[in-house]
Amino acid sequence: MSIFTKDYWSEKDMNLLIGKLLRYGVFLACGITLFGGIIYLYQHQGASMEHYKSTPDGQPFPGAEYYLRELSTIIPRVFSFDGAAIIQLGVCVLIATPILRVAFSVIAFLIEKDYMYVVITLIVLIIIIANMLLGLH
């Protein structure tokens, strides 16, 4: 029996797999973020709190450092055990989890030969990816 048949993947099995994907994705993101937080606190112990206070002159919040804004600059910093980069990677994994769920749903609907839902789910996936790639800065 082929793994690409409807008999192999029952609807209950697909729902369980999708549920596990979401659950494990969130657990993984929490673990990465917690690990990064511990490293961040260790790296910044004894740092002056003046750096972390809000600006009293009414200026907007400066936001994250530039290297924390793109995945291509986060990954090298993760390998050098930068706590902030590891935390940001955890956030990226958390954001990617439901996107992977949508992509996995496309495969599930294809196996079930439910083409209307394949089209609808692909439209949703294209919209998500387009917003990620073409989003305003």
72-78: long-range contacts at Cβ-Cβ below 8 A with a sequence spacing of 24 or more? none
φ/ψ region of 6 (left if φ > 0, alpha if ψ in -120 to 50, else beta) reads alpha
Q: Does the pLDDT at position 60 exceed 70? A: no
Tens of pLDDT, residues 4-48: 666 665 666 778 888 899 999 999 999 999 999 999 999 988 665
From 17, 19, 22, 16, select the one nearest 97 (Cα to Cα): 22
Predicted TM-score (pTM) of the model is: 0.76
| Residue 62 buriedness (CB in 10 A; 0-12 / 13-18 / 19+) | exposed
DSSP class of residue 62 equals: -
**Every domain of the chain and the residues it spans:** 11-44+67-134
